[in-house]
Amino acid sequence: MITVSGVSKSFGGRTLFENVNVQFTPGKRYGLTGPNGAGKSTFMKILQGDEEPTSGTVSVPKKIGILRQDQFRYDNYRIIDTVLMGNPTLWAALEERERLYAEPNLTDEMGVRLGELEGIIADENGYVAEQQAAELLEGIGIPEVQHTNLMNSLPTDLKFRVLLAQALFGDPDALLLDEPTNYLDLQSIHWLEENLKAYNGTLIVISHDRHFLNSVCTHIADIDYETVIIYTGNYDEMVATKIQGREKIEAENREKQKKIAQLQDFVARFGAGTRSSQTQSRLKEIKRLEPTELKKSNIQRPYIRFEVKRPSGKEVATLKSLSKSYPQADGTTLHVIKNFSMTIGRDEKIAVIGNNGVGKTTLLSMIAGELKPDAGTVVLRPEVSMGYFPQDYKKGIKPGVTAFEWLQSFATDEGTEVLRGLLGRMLFSGESALKQTDTLSGGESARLIMAKLMLEQNNFLVMDEPTNHLDLESVSALADALERFKGTVIFVSHDRDLVSQVATRIIAMTSDGIADFAGTYDEYLDALESGKPSAKPKFLVA
């Protein structure tokens, strides 16, 4: 069990949460939610012991699994050793035992210490630890022949899977995961969901993936109103309960205000007369009916709407015989895309899906003109106006200017009022519009790029992982905007709700080739499971 008692946290003059008293119990899986800036990661760091609260205390079990975010921290360690480090007590004992055995002359004291270490290793199930670590690695798709390789031999997504295995290793009593779906493809997310649903300890997880939270969580710990409120159920159930609860209190407050107004009218009319006893009873009633104080919610939803200045023609773009490869450190060549062709039609909503490293970003970068293909062509029709959202948002925003100045650099005849309005819709109100672009968070940068796309009113949007740094409210607003968009969009995303809601066509980059499917994501999954050859996606490249 994790117990939080009287915990408060403030930065400068801003309070994130105050006097929080909650318990997280074994067998329950909690999603820690709240908008960007609410304090989710700060609260998680306090639970992990990586940050001190302003006041209050936290009690956690002895064995706790923590997902570390630095994929490069373990580059010089073997893959299997990185997993074993998930049990610090065991790992320290193994390392010390190895050092002592390497001593040329063992003393009596060293011999006694070795005996103590063997006891610690036995208590921590150390004699089967490598077998358990190997099973976890096999489960996440890393074969046994690679287990003794160094971590730096793995691509980013596989490193992240190893860190997940590290957090899960050793049967921890509690598991703390901050954004575990980052860098994971759809297949890896499904693997993680199934493992977490089988976990019997106390799970606390932060995620901007609504589908993931709905699938995994039995409870939601929501940071709002400067506190943490526990709701039973998954994310969607929490939202419904939260809205209903606030609406009920607001309705009760309105009734109280109506009754108070009637009582105050009576007091004003008869307060100085002979009906003083009745007046006093009404004054007491007014005090009793004092409305419930509602703190302001910190949830903010941007208003995203992509307009089209002028429509495109029937065909938007033609990709013909595209190929792209990259030289590798060992002298070999990695062929990411080979001889790929497709036509993009007007009003299509195309989702590009596939495991990490298969070439999704490469494909969108070539379509956007940011990357030159080794062979083949990308032809945009004359009527096409393209807007691009890069995966690395820093490449898209000029440093050293304010958010307003950066947006203004793309204006034609739009005045200050229009630009301020766009920024306000994307939650840059007042002084926040004058923030330096160098200091913007990931979520703020993503919303600023979207403000630019709304300003330009393009008829063709190319978007590479636009949800990576957005909170749940912003992801939902983006999905609604793309669904209503009267133009064409091709996008990469690992957010299944976004893909399911928006896509009308799927380009699936697989180990068997690149498949083209005319239909929604749910229809695509049904086609894969049906086993009927006629229903399966057509391969453009095999």
- Mean pLDDT in the chain? 86
Kindly report, residue by residue over 12-59, the tens digit of the pLDDT: 777 888 899 999 999 999 999 887 777 888 899 999 988 899 999 999
List all residues 6 or more positions away from 177 whose beta carbon is below 8 Å from its beta carbon: 67, 164, 167, 203, 204, 205, 206, 207
Report helix, strand or coil for 68: coil
Answer whether residue 229 shows pLDDT above 70: yes
Domain residue ranges of the chain, discontinuous segments joined by +: 238-288, 315-388+458-541
Report helix, strand or coil for 122: helix
Q: How confident is the model at residue 63 (pLDDT cuts 50, 70, 90)?
A: confident
pLDDT at 542: 42
| Element at 337 (helix H, strand E) | strand 333-345
* Lowest mean pLDDT, pick from 176-190, 282-296, 474-488: 282-296
Q: Contact at 8 Å (CB) between 394 and 448?
A: no
pTM over 0.85: no
Q: What is the DSSP letter of 504?
A: S
Q: What is the DSSP letter of 168?
A: H
Q: Contact at 8 Å (CB) between 155 and 326?
A: no
Q: Contact at 8 Å (CB) between 63 and 169?
A: no
Answer whether residue 274 shows pLDDT above 80: no
Report helix, strand or coil for 340: strand
Answer whether residue 388 shows pLDDT above 90: yes
Cα–Cα distances in Å, from 115 out to 121, 158, 168, 389?
Answer: 10, 37, 28, 59
pLDDT at 379: 95
pLDDT at 527: 85
Tell which wins on pLDDT, 346 or 289.
346
Kindly report, residue by residue over 453-477, the tens digit of the pLDDT: 999 999 999 999 998 878 888 888 9
Q: Contact at 8 Å (CB) between 62 and 6?
A: no
Q: Could you tell me if residue 252 is left (phi over 0), alpha (psi between -120 and 50 degrees) or otherwise beta?
A: alpha
* Lowest mean pLDDT, pick from 43-47, 82-86, 139-143, 366-370: 139-143
- Domain 315-388+458-541 in this protein, CATH class: alpha beta
Cα Rg, the chain, nearest whole Å: 28
